[in-house]
Amino acid sequence: MFPSNNSQNKRKEIYRYAAPWMVYAMNWSVRPDKRFRLALGSFVEEYNNKVQIISLDEDTSEFTSRSIFDHPYPTTKIMWIPDTKGTLPDLLATSGDYLRIWQTSDNGTRLECLLNNNKNSDFCAPLTSFDWNEIDPNLIGTSSIDTTCTIWGLETGQAIGRTNPINGNVRTQLIAHDKEVYDIAFSRGGGGRDMFASVGADGSVRMFDLRHLEHSTIIYEDPQHHSLLRLAWNKQDPNYLSTFAIDSTEIIILDVRIPCTPVARLNNHRAGVNGVAWAPHSPCHICTASDDRQALIWDIQQMPKAIEDPILAYTADGEINQVQWSTTQPDWIAICFNNFLEILRV
């Protein structure tokens, strides 16, 4: 249950961290030995930005900074390597002007590689987002304002005795949309390795298969051709995904088996939606966050009947610009607003 702001029971339901700057990008670590570890990216409108790794000390109930490092421009997304067994190198990826892979350790964080697709030009088209493939962590897909998506092949050097650092190469680059691409996400469908979808400024959701890149499938088009900002796949049922348009108060749930017609619309927010996160452990729960300062959890199992109201609501002290549901601890959700990160027990 979302807690009230003043609950101070023995094991807290809510923990807050105050960063030294406005927080935008944020992600939970999935390693089993790093339970309450998150990475945060600053949002400062200048070149010099920061990424900070923090972890919760469960004895003192306080977050502590583990590492902080410089990052050019604000990170548009941060993601830990999807390594739930903890057997691969402890990597963190960030997108901004380029895709960067960082190695983190107790001694701090160092840049392992910078992946740039424009070898013949000093100009780089900023990356809006990326996704790290959960089934094959050697695959990362990036989306860019230059209308393309790029799938990178990483060499994470997990073989015993290899000393060469992590590097990457372009597996494929494709023109994904007619305008800027704002988000990309791999699907768990069809083996979980080859299918991905993207959204962008042309107002469409498009689906791709790495084995058949000569064509894509348009799953949905916004009726007014408004930009679609984010998409997220259901973690348990690869038939469902969610998206929302710029400045929209409504989240749209799509079923890839029934293209172009939303199976549900979630519209209790009273200001523009900024983020969605599906439950990692349930096919019918999704959390949405908005400029109305609310994080809402919905139960969508009665689709296609209308979903009238969320089952849980939390009101933050500011406009929520990011929400992430912990993969390894599904009873915890993280939100960001202003310069704060809060984790909430649900």
Q: What is the DSSP string of 145-161?
A: TTSEEEEEEEE---STT
Q: Please tell me the predicted confidence (pLDDT) of residue 156.
A: 62
Integer-rounded Cα radius of gyration of the chain: 19
- Would you say how long the chain is, in residues? 346
C-alpha 11/C-alpha 162 separation (Å) is 44
C-alpha 228/C-alpha 142 separation (Å) is 16
Q: Please tell me the predicted confidence (pLDDT) of residue 169.
A: 81
Q: What is the DSSP string of 208-270?
A: EETT-TT--EEEEE-TT-PPEEEEEE-SS-TTEEEEEETT-S-EEEEETTSTTS-SEEE---S
Q: Please tell me the predicted confidence (pLDDT) of residue 161.
A: 40
Q: Domain segments of the chain: what residues?
A: 82-322
Sites in the chain below the pLDDT cut of 70: 1-11, 118-123, 156-166
C-alpha 68/C-alpha 81 separation (Å) is 18
Token pair, residue 269, equals 């927010």
The architecture of the domain spanning 82-322 is 7 Propeller (2.130)
Helix (H, G, I), strand (E, B), or coil: what is residue 277?
strand
C-alpha 299/C-alpha 308 separation (Å) is 10
pTM for the structure as a whole? 0.91
Q: Quick check: bond before 304 cis, omega within 30?
A: yes
Q: Please tell me the predicted confidence (pLDDT) of residue 215.
A: 86
Q: Please tell me the predicted confidence (pLDDT) of residue 7.
A: 44
Q: Please tell me the predicted confidence (pLDDT) of residue 165.
A: 57
- The answer to whether the beta carbons of residues 287 and 323 sit under 8 Å apart is yes
- The answer to whether the beta carbons of residues 233 and 241 sit under 8 Å apart is yes
Q: Please tell me the predicted confidence (pLDDT) of residue 6.
A: 47
CA distance between the termini of the chain: 5
